[in-house]
Structure 1
Amino acid sequence: MKVVKFGGSSLADGPQFQKVIDIIKADPARQVVITSAPGKRQDTDIKVTDLLIKYAKLTIAQQDYSEVVAQISARYQAIGTFFKVPAEEMTPIKEAIVHLPNHDYPDNDYLMAAFKAHGERLNARLMATVLNNLGIKARFVDPKECGLIVSDEPNNATVLPETYTNLAQFDYGDERLIFPGFFGFTKNGQIATFSRGGSDITGAIIARGLHADLYENFTDVNAIYAANPKIIAHPQAITKMTYREMRELSYAGFSVFHDEAIIPAIEGQIPINVKNTNQPDLPGTLIVPEQHFEPTQIITGVASSNRFAALYLHRYLLNKEVGFTLKLLKVLYKYNVSYEHMPSGIDDLTVIFDKTQLDTDTIHAMCHDIQEVLHPDTLQWINDYAILMVVGEGMRNQIGVTEHIFESLVDHNIGVHMINQGASRISIMLGTRQADADEAVKCIYNAFFVKKAVASD
């Protein structure tokens, strides 16, 4: 049995729905389908999720929301009209949209979560309706019905362990099961959404819980590439990679998956196949466990991200002071700030942060407290910071990889502020100026892919 997830662009309108239905029909093993909310039909379009967020904000502000309700309803009606769904079967979807403000919510955060979740919820219901009208036996499965239980964080929920016990007991036959992505229910019965990559997370959870043979993730790209196509023209497609390679590359900017989205599939050892809805016969990229994986080249990919900042601390004999790092971590804890990395020397230490969790006031207050508590000789906040990840299972037993990376950067006068290699030896992390990040990706990609290809010719 396969679990198949489709992204928002794959379900944006009637013609895209038809492509998805053709994909489902093409393989009887594709029994479980995870839907996203309708995405953009063209670049200037608005995603249904964004319309629902606007709807929620207008509701909270007690302002007129009739126009946005009409826009949301029209998106689903257009798909229903494309498939000639009877009006009475579209009515429950329209009523669900209209009645969203009438439910009781613990607070505005839960209201926002419930509104957002209905993009996926109603699209799954519509997909089941369309399939049944086409003579394909299908069943809409709400997360509450299957026992998808999540934590009490309305817009940043995590799946709870009892979900997998519930899914193991979930009863179904030979019908297609249509699950909405992006959300689950708290123990108190409230809707709570996952963070970024929410539908991907749902797909991974369901694949693990139902012990799928394969998790197919359909999107709008042919494969995962060795570098960002916006930086490298026509980069090499990755045919097969490991879970941990995907995690490392996602962390530094690979946009196909958020780096946390595939963890449930990893925990269940479910292979993942990333494919293109618009060209479903292409092989895509297969993501597999590390066991028995044989790399075919030294590095699998290189990625960069500018979402980082760094705090540099210098103090003589820093390495001799017991509890220095503990004092620093207590300050971070006070401001509810997590750090990403902490490379250090004998007299200095750099703390790397994800800037998306910080604002200017927090940075100033946090730096003030660190100065007061730790008394460093130098304290410098560095906003101009990018991280590159060079990743490959083939790096583990290869001598000279780091030298090859640095040669390519030196040739183009690119400085490196930080280097870090994990114990797995499958990735090397580099810190650079933001302005150098894209050029650094080009240099490293060319060194390992273009020059290698020329040499082999």
Structure 2
Amino acid sequence: MKVIKFGGSSLASAEQLKKVLNIIKSDPERRIVVVSAPGKRSGSDTKVTDLLIQYAEAYLAGKDYTAIQQQIIDRYQSMADELGLHSAMNDVRDGLQELAKMDKNSPERVLDAFKASGENNNALIVAEFLAKNGLPAVYVNPREAGIIVSDVPGNAQILPDSYEKIYQLTERDGVLVIPGFFGYTENGDICTFSRGGSDISGAIVAAGVKAELYENFTDVDAIFSAHPGLVKNPKAITELTFREMRELSYAGFNVLHDEALIPAFHADIPVVIKNTNNPEAPGTRISSARTIGKETVSGIAGDSGFLSIYLSKYLMNREVGFGRKVLRILEDMHLKYEHMPSGIDDISIILREDQFTDEIEQTLIRRLKEELHLDEIKIKHDLAMVAIVGEGMKNSIGVAAKATRALADNQINIEMINQGSSEVSIMFSLENGQEKRAIRALYDAFFN
């Protein structure tokens, strides 16, 4: 059995759904299909999920939502009309109208229900379309499938006990079409995963049914060693390990949601990224281990929106529990840190800047000063992180030297270097605005 997931661009129009039909028909082992909400049909189009967020915000604010509601209905109606579907469209229309009758006392739950309807409606459409064209396909609601999640709207996590229920899907016949992106709490409330969470749903189902393979169909032939918008004709990557893909996703690759690898990794199920528009292309295979060739670096990625906090205290290394105190303050303030390189008398903490307001920043600085009795504290905003990633780096000499020389030759100043103990990645902290030049410089050094 294979679990196959289609992204929003693969399901954006009737024409795309016809490609999906042919892909599923071409392999009888593709028995479980996880779908996203319709994506953009063109560069100027709007994703259905974004329309649903606008719909929810208008409803919660007491504004007129009829125009945006009709716009969403029309998106599904245009596909249904072109494909000759009728039954599912009635449920889609009724469901979208019923959303505007929800209790507004819990805005987060309202927003999750509105967002989840994008995937749910698309699953109804896809199931009817497949059945009409010769496949024994049925829609399966996530609650029926056993996708029970934590009660955290917008950032749900699968509950471990769910996998036993999900495995029962293997006893069912035909092609099962499951909406991605959301599950149900133990109390029966809808909760979505973080944005892009249909990838997570696909991996959860694949792990639950112990699939042979999890195929994730998107709109690119493969994962590339650098972003094609930054580097001309970057090298396609044929194989990656889970660890490499996780590092690249974290550092800025957005082909696959970084949390989507966790269920597949724990269940040791290979993941293949393929192109709906070119299904014959081999794609990129992600698994626990791969053959390491002569290349040292597999990919280069970057992201912006970080800040650093520099802490200095003489004889810090002799103070028992200093690191624990730092982490406790961050935990108390619900702040997640990304990196924490240190010396004998100093520590730098790298955090995502979007967690901060002026008030949070001032409170954090005050607590760090008062509770740690620091000699010096400095905060620097507007940082970017660029990573080089590759399993081959562990057995190669001079990788860091090659990278730093490439950055120096391009007059790019390095704020910080951090190499994890796994030796699979090296992170460079730079000023915002330099990450694109840095990626090009590093690509030239390692691939050209």
**Alignment map for 1:98-177 (pairs within 5 Å):** 98-104=97-103, 107-170=106-169, 172-177=171-176
**3-state DSSP class of the match of 1:153?**
coil
Give distance in 1, aligned partners of 2:211 and 2:413: 46
* Alignment partner, residue 299 of structure 1: 297
**Aligned-partner SS, 1:78:** helix
AA paired with 1:78? S
Between the aligned residues of both structures, percent identity stands at 46
Query: What residue is the counterpart of 1:27 in the other structure?
Result: 27
What one-letter code is carried by the residue in structure 2 that aligns with 1:277?
T
CA RMSD of aligned residues (A): 1.6
Say if 1:428 and 1:89 are closer, same or farther in 2 by CA, change over 3 A. closer
Segment drifting more, 220-229 vs 370-379:
370-379
Asked if structure 2 preserves the Cα contact closer than 8 Å seen for 1:197 and 1:261, the reply is no
Distance 2:128 2:426 in 1: 49
- Match for residue 376 of structure 1? 374
- Alignment partner, residue 62 of structure 2: 62
Contact 2:170 2:209 in 1 (8 A): no
TM-score normalised according to structure 2 size:
0.96
- 1:216-235 to structure 2, matched below 5 A, reads 216-235=215-234
User: Residue 91 of structure 1 corresponds to which residue in structure 2?
Assistant: 90
* Partner Cα distance (2:291, 2:27) in 1: 27
* Paired AA for residue 62 in structure 2: Q
Q: Once the 2 structures are TM-superposed, how far is the Cα of residue 103 of structure 1 from its aligned partner? A: 4.1
| Equivalent residue, structure 1, for 2:311 | 313
Contact 1:275–1:283 (8 Å) recurs in 2: yes
TM-score under structure 1 length normalisation: 0.94
For the Cα contact (< 8 Å) 2:37–2:119, is it kept in 1? yes
Cα offsets for 1:76-104 (capped at 9, x unmatched): 11110011113x44211110111113245
State the alpha-carbon separation in 2 of the partners of residues 295 and 191 from structure 1. Answer: 46
**Alignment pair present for 1:385 and 2:368:** no
For residue 105 of structure 1, report the CA deviation from its aligned partner. 7.1
2:393 alignment counterpart: 395
Tell me whether 1:448 sits opposite 2:446 in the alignment: yes
Distance in 1 between residues matched to 2:10 and 2:321, nearest whole Å: 52
Q: Deviations over 1:206-262 (max 9, x none)?
A: 111111111111111111011111221111010111110000111110111222221
Deviates more, 1:59-68 or 1:280-289: 59-68
Task: Select between 264-273 and 355-364 the one with higher mean Cα deviation.
Answer: 355-364
Shift of 1:106: 6.6
8 A contact 1:215–1:270 mirrored in 2:
yes
Q: Structure 1 44/281 Cα, relative in aligned 2: closer, same or farther at 3 Å?
A: same
Deviation of 1:196 after TM superposition, in Å, equals: 2.7
Q: Secondary structure at the match of 1:178?
A: strand
Q: Tell me, yes or no, if the aligned pair for 1:295 and 1:393 is still in contact at 8 Å.
A: no
Q: What is the match of residue 280 of structure 1? A: 279
Aligned-partner SS, 1:262: helix
Alpha-carbon distance in 2 for matches of 1:246, 1:69: 38
Matches within 5 A, 1:162-311: 162-170=161-169, 172-290=171-289, 293-311=291-309
AA aligned to 1:10 is: S
Moved more, 268-277 or 329-338: 329-338
Q: Which amino acid aligns with 1:245?
A: E
Could you tell which deviates more after superposition, 161-170 or 137-146? Answer: 161-170
Q: How far apart in 2 are the matches of 1:270 and 1:197?
A: 20
The answer (yes or no) to whether the contact 2:60–2:104 under 8 Å persists in 1 is: no
> Unpaired segments of 5 or more residues in structure 1?
451-457
Q: Is the 8 A contact 2:305 2:382 kept in 1?
A: no
- The DSSP-based 3-state class of the residue aligned with 1:260 is helix
- Tell me if the contact between 2:168 and 2:209 (Cα under 8 Å) persists in the aligned partners: no
Could you tell me how far 1:157 is from its partner in structure 2? 0.3
Say if 1:28 and 1:256 are closer, same or farther in 2 by CA, change over 3 A. Answer: same
The letter for the 2-side match of 1:449 is: F
Counterparts of 2:239 and 2:424 in 1: how far apart (Å)? 15
- Determine helix, strand or coil for the equivalent of 2:69: helix
Deviation at 1:142, TM superposition (A): 0.5
The unaligned stretches of length 5 or more in structure 2 are: none
| SS of equivalent residue, structure 1 residue 424 | coil
Bigger mean CA offset, 365-374 vs 271-280: 365-374
Moved over 6 A (4+): none
Q: Aligned pair in 2 of structure 1 residues 142, 89: CA closer, same or farther (>3 Å)?
A: closer
2:7 paired residue number: 7
Residues 173 and 187 (structure 1 numbering): CA distance in 2 closer, same or farther, change over 3 Å?
closer
* Partner Cα distance (2:63, 2:105) in 1: 20
Q: Secondary structure at the match of 1:261?
A: helix
- Which of 406, 416, 429 aligns to 2:427? It is 429
CA distance in structure 2 between the partners assigned to 1:125 and 1:308 by the alignment = 41
Partners of 2:328 and 2:150 in 1: CA distance: 25
How many correspondences in the alignment?
448
- Whole-angstrom distance in 2 between the partners of 1:288 and 1:307: 30
Does the CA-based 8 Å contact 1:143-1:185 persist in structure 2? yes
**C-alpha displacement at 1:330, in angstroms?**
2.5
